[in-house]
Structure 1
Amino acid sequence: MDLLAHIDNYCERTDPSLWSEPLNALSNLAFLIAAAVLWRQAHGNTRQTELRCLATLIGLIGVCSGLFHFFGTVWGMILDVAGIALFILVYIQRYLRQLARCPQWACWLGVAVFVAADRAIAKLGSFGLNGSEGYLLPGVTLMAFAVWSRWHSPDATRWLGAASLVFVVSFSLRTLDMALCAHWPFGTHFAWHLLNALVLYCCARGLAGRR
């Protein structure tokens, strides 16, 4: 694997130069803003440490994704995927523990099942979603968490419900990025970043909800 090889998967990128994706790169500031707001709001919360851990992971996503869209290389893509995956797995484990009140073994089993399902879906190949296939399972999982919370953790419902609705829009925009190039040369991937920062913020706030 050539870690320095350039990747051109987005409408905005037209060449391998560092500043070929200005909107895709700068829109990652939304993750840093979401992380900063969450960090501040965590003060005094009974789950302060947990929320600040999630805030740190959201900030990490912003940094890793920013590096990927700035450099447009394989190593940047690996960092980008790793940052997102880390947040998803940590969030699933903490949701199962804090809101679903599962025992520790069940929480880690849930994470293992998610990883296995994700790998199985990946083997099915492309569904014609412009590389968004990997976000189908996280999206469905988020919606399942929102539905479960409706009966078991009402305070979390509004946050996870909002996150689910915004995710549907952001997922659609990510999928349409290349298809709209002829009509909108900047693409729509930057909007995926902006909306996903809101999604992750809402997810973290949902975890702070009382049972």
Structure 2
Amino acid sequence: MWNEQIDSYCERLDFTFWSEPVNALTNLAFVIAAIWIYPRTRGLPLARLLAGVLFAIGLGSFAFHTTATRWGALADTLPILAFILIYIFAATRDFFGLETWKSVLVTLMFFPYAAATVPLFAQLGLGSSAGYAPVPLLIFIYGLLLRPAAPKTARGLALGAAILCLSIVMRWLDMPLCGSFPLGTHFLWHLLNALMLAHMIAVYVNHMLEGRALGR
């Protein structure tokens, strides 16, 4: 079961290891982004954890785009889910000042939120990319709520959400454009996501450092 192979992307023509060379190698962007942001996370355990998960996203996605198996798909998606949940917790606790237990509850609410919104995005024809669409919406909501108290952080969140929206479009276009662009566009999802995730960590780090500077 776990070794069952999946052909989901335009670039893949067979089930050999290097059948998706561009999709596979562009996962280096996640690794490079994690190495770049890691030194800036010193003294911030959650930011450091996010950098580690970002590194794992690159490894997991590489595993999927080389093996094209169900276990590879799990290695690809679990680190992404982990990043989302850790960031929601960090943003809820440290951007809005909620107690830890309340932040945990808000984080767990992501699951019913996603269950309610993914079908709505699926109706827009996003296919499997609908599973990611609730995330930029949630980031925009956090940015809007945070705007009065921390406008710089809110702008950073809005930029991150905008990059993710573009990234999701690139993921969605991979198969529709396959006939005219055999390479596909999924590799752009990797490059834009690496940029976006490093940016989101930087937004969190900057917020925390500015808070310390102001004595908050």
After TM superposition, the score normalised by the length of structure 1 is: 0.92
Deviation string, structure 1 residues 40-79 (Cα, Å, up to 9, x no partner) = 2224xxx532221110011011110110011111100011
Contact 2:119 2:130 (C-alpha < 8 Å) held by counterparts: no
Is 2:185 aligned against 1:188? yes
Is 2:144 aligned against 1:147? yes
Structure 1 unaligned regions, length at least 5: none
Is 2:87 aligned against 1:91? yes
Quick check: 177-186 or 144-153, which moved more? 144-153
Is 2:179 aligned against 1:171? no
Contact 1:142 1:160 (C-alpha < 8 Å) held by counterparts: yes
Higher RCO, 1 or 2 (CA under 8 Å, sep at least 6)? 1
| 1:99–1:199 Cα change, 3 Å | same
Contact 1:16 1:72 (C-alpha < 8 Å) held by counterparts: yes
Contact 1:156 1:205 (C-alpha < 8 Å) held by counterparts: no
User: Offset of 1:124 from its aligned partner?
Assistant: 6.8
Kindly tell me the number of residue pairs found equivalent between the two proteins.
207
Q: Distance in 2 between matches of 1:125 and 1:166?
A: 18
Contact 2:118 2:134 (C-alpha < 8 Å) held by counterparts: no
Quick check: 21-30 or 119-128, which moved more? 119-128
Q: Distance in 2 between matches of 1:152 and 1:134?
A: 31
Note the 1:25-40 alignment, pairs <5 A: 25-40=24-39
Q: Distance in 2 between matches of 1:109 and 1:155?
A: 26
Residue in structure 1 matched with residue 9 of structure 2 by the alignment: 10
Is 2:96 aligned against 1:100? yes
Quick check: 189-198 or 129-138, which moved more? 129-138
Contact 2:7 2:68 (C-alpha < 8 Å) held by counterparts: yes
After TM superposition, the score normalised by the length of structure 2 is: 0.90
Residue in structure 1 matched with residue 214 of structure 2 by the alignment: none
Q: Distance in 2 between matches of 1:122 and 1:148?
A: 22
CA RMSD of aligned residues (A): 1.7
The amino acid that maps onto 1:168 is C
| 1:125–1:139 Cα change, 3 Å | closer
Q: What SS does structure 1 have at the residue aligned with 2:171?
A: helix
Q: Percent identity?
A: 36
Residue in structure 1 matched with residue 131 of structure 2 by the alignment: 134
Q: Distance in 1 between matches of 2:46 and 2:9?
A: 34
